[in-house]
Amino acid sequence: MDLPEIEQTLRELVAAIPAPARAEMLRVLTIRDDAKRAREIGRLHGSRIAPATAELLIDAEEDPALRAVLVGMRREALPLRLS
C-alpha cells in the first residue's frame, strides 16, 4: 500500500464513524495531558458507544504520526470560523 492508498483508507475509516463520535475523537486527540487523554480513551472504550472511535484513538496513542494526521483530518473537516 502506498501513501495515497493509506490516506484514502484512513479517510474512509474516519468517515464511517458517526459525526458525534468524530467530534469527540477530535476533542480527545487534542487533549495535551497524556494521562488525561489516556483516561478519556479508556472511558470511550469502556462505554462501547463508539468502539471504532476508541480503537482508532488507541492506535493513535501508539503512533504520534497517526495522531497528527487524524487531528489534521478532523480540523480540515470543520467549518472555517472567521472572527
Q: Are 57 and 44 in contact (CB under 8 A)?
A: yes
According to the model, what pLDDT value does residue 34 have?
A: 92
Is pLDDT of 18 > 90?
no
Is pLDDT of 50 > 70?
no
Is pLDDT of 48 > 80?
no
Tell me what the mean pLDDT of segment 41-68 comes to: 82
Q: Are 42 and 48 in contact (CB under 8 A)?
A: no
Helices 19-29 and 64-77: crossing angle in degrees, nearest 10, is 130
Confidence band, pLDDT 50/70/90 cuts, at residue 36: very high
According to the model, what pLDDT value does residue 24 have?
A: 84
Q: Are 43 and 71 in contact (CB under 8 A)?
A: no
Which one has a higher pLDDT value, 34 or 47? 34
According to the model, what pLDDT value does residue 31 have?
A: 93
